[in-house]
């Protein structure tokens, strides 16, 4: 049994093909830090996070957002085995980074908002539903190795 | 969690821009909620939930009107939403988790239709506003 139906895979890949992963990564991470300021706790070394403008323009935020979303994008290539694809990263986030998995859910939903912002009407309810499944799957996969 | 003066100003400005589309957006947000989070449909067994349903449209308008009222009385949400708070606590008893789901879909709807307005700061203010409304609506649950 597949994680996404063939139709859902089509919707996801169809939209993802048009995404500028580097830019969207920076945008999503930036908005996470603006909308949910407590998430800044993981980024004390990133410099100026004092305002929405400072956060969105911060080069470390953009670089890290790019890294995170490229990893997410790689995961999409293994959509039927997200737990396998993210096993190592899951261990890292638990053992070294000590990130509460709730943060993955928050970032996933911010990513959905960013996609809606970029794609407008094209990001219709069916496309959104497919992406909600993907971000939930990735969040669960990243939480899977926690102990 | 408190709405700052800037948050209130952002919400009023954004909601003002929406104008007469509020009903459409309320409807779209509901449709997105039912589509993305099928468990939410359990509260509407008596509705036709197909695309274009008149019942969903009417309900979307109702939700939008309530939010418009909330924006107009943003300085005193508990008072403004008191009757709705009673309704949700004693009659509807919608599990609190669902308010987050609808709030998220409201954000997505606004992002789709008003990209220029949906800046990071406005996104944050709207999220806080929907959260504040949700808190009031669930405040008498127990």
Structural domain boundaries in chain A: 6-143
Q: Looking at the partner chain, which of B112, B123, B127 has a beta carbon nearest the beta carbon of A120? A: B112
Q: Look at residue A1 in the predicted model and tell me its pLDDT.
A: 56
Average pLDDT over residues B80-109: 95
**pLDDT averaged over every residue in chain B:** 96
Output the pLDDT for position A25: 97
pLDDT at A2: 74
- In percent, how much of chain B has pLDDT > 90? 99
Beta-carbon separation of B108 and A113 below 8 A = yes
The chain A residue lying nearest B127, using CA atoms, is A35
How much of chain A, in percent, has pLDDT values that exceed 70?
99
* Gap between the Cα atoms of A93 and A86, Å rounded: 10
Cβ–Cβ pairs < 8 A, chains A and B = 60
User: Which of the four CATH numbers 1.20.200.10, 3.30.413.10, 3.30.470.10, 1.10.490.10 does domain A6-143 have?
Assistant: 1.10.490.10
Which of B105, B108, B121 shows the shortest C-beta gap to A34? B121
Q: Which residues of B touch A109 (CB under 8 A)?
A: 104
Q: At B34, give phi and psi (nearest 5°).
A: -65, -35
CA distance B138 to chain A (A): 21
* Residue A55 near residue A61, CB atoms below 8 Å: yes
Taking CB atoms and an 8 Å cutoff, what residues of chain A touch B7? none
Q: Which tens digit of pLDDT belongs to each residue from B7-44?
A: 999 999 999 999 999 999 999 999 999 999 999 999 99
- Reported as a single tens digit per residue, the pLDDT across B51-64 is 999 999 999 999 99
User: Residue written as tokens 């993955």?
Assistant: A104
Residue A3 is predicted with a pLDDT of 86
Q: Helices marked H in A36-124 — which ranges?
A: 52-57, 59-76, 82-85, 87-91, 102-119
Q: How far is B22 from chain A (nearest CA, A)?
A: 16
Q: Block means of pLDDT (10 residues each) for chain A, length 147 residues?
A: 89 97 96 96 95 98 97 94 96 94 96 98 98 97 96
CATH number at residue B34: 1.10.490.10
CA–CA separation, B17 and B116 (whole Å):
11
Domain of residue B88 covers 5-138
pTM, to two decimals: 0.94
In the predicted model, is pLDDT for residue B133 greater than 60? yes
């Amino acid at each position: 049994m597949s994680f996404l139906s063939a139709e859902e895979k089509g919707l996801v890949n169809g939209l993802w093909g048009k995404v500028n992963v580097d830019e969207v990564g920076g945008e999503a991470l930036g908005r996470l830090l603006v909308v949910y300021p407590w998430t800044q706790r993981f980024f004390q070394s990133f410099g100026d996070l004092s305002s929405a403008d400072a956060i969105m323009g911060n080069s470390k935020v953009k670089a890290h957002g790019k890294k995170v979303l490229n990893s997410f994008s790689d995961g999409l290539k293994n959509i039927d085995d997200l737990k396998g694809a993210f096993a190592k990263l899951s261990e890292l986030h638990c053992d070294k980074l000590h990130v509460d998995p709730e943060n993955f859910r928050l970032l996933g939903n911010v990513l959905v908002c960013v996609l809606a912002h970029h794609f407008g009407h094209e990001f219709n309810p069916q496309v959104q539903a497919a992406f909600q499944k993907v971000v939930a799957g990735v969040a669960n996969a990243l939480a899977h190795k926690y102990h | 969690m408190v709405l700052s003066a800037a948050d209130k100003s952002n919400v009023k400005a954004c909601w003002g821009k929406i104008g007469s589309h509020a009903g459409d957006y309320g409807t779209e947000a509901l449709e997105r909620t039912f589509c993305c989070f099928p468990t939410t449909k359990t509260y509407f067994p008596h509705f036709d939930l197909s695309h274009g349903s008149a019942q969903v449209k009417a309900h979307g308008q109702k939700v939008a009107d309530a939010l418009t009222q909330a924006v107009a009385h943003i300085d005193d949400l508990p008072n403004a939403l008191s009757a709705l708070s009673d309704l949700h606590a004693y009659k509807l008893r919608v599990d609190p988790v669902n308010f987050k789901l609808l709030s998220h879909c409201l954000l997505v709807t606004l992002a789709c239709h008003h990209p220029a307005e949906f800046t990071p700061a406005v996104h944050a203010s709207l999220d806080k506003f929907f959260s504040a409304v949700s808190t009031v609506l669930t405040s008498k649950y127990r």
